Amino acid sequence: MSEGRIGVDESGKGDFFGPLVVAACYVGPEHLAELDGVKDSKKLTDAQAIQLAERIQRVCPFSIVAIGPEKYNEMYLKFANLNKLLAWGHARAIENVLEVQPAKTIISDEFAKGGGRVKSALFERGRQAEFVSRVRAEADLAVAAASILARAEFLRRLKKLSIEFGIDLPKGATNVIGTGKRFVSLHGPEALGKVAKLHFKTSQQVLAP
Q: How many residues does the chain have?
A: 209
Note whether 74 and 37 are same-domain residues: yes
Note whether 14 and 87 are same-domain residues: yes
Residue 84, domain CATH: 3.30.420.10
81-140: pLDDT as tens digits: 888 899 899 999 999 999 999 999 999 877 655 456 776 767 666 677 788 877 676 778
What's the CA gap between 92 and 7, in Å, rounded?
13
Note whether 116 and 175 are same-domain residues: no
pTM of structure:
0.92
Note whether 155 and 170 are same-domain residues: no
Note whether 46 and 106 are same-domain residues: yes
Note whether 123 and 189 are same-domain residues: no
**Count of domains forming the chain:** 2
What's the CA gap between 25 and 84, in Å, rounded?
21
Q: Which domain holds residue 170?
A: 162-207
Note whether 17 and 92 are same-domain residues: yes
Note whether 104 and 73 are same-domain residues: yes
DSSP 114-181: GGHHHHHHS-HHHHTSEEEEETTGGGSHHHHHHHHHHHHHHHHHHHHHHHHHTS-PPSSSSS-HHHHH
186-198: pLDDT as tens digits: 999 999 999 999 9
Note whether 152 and 168 are same-domain residues: no
Note whether 86 and 184 are same-domain residues: no
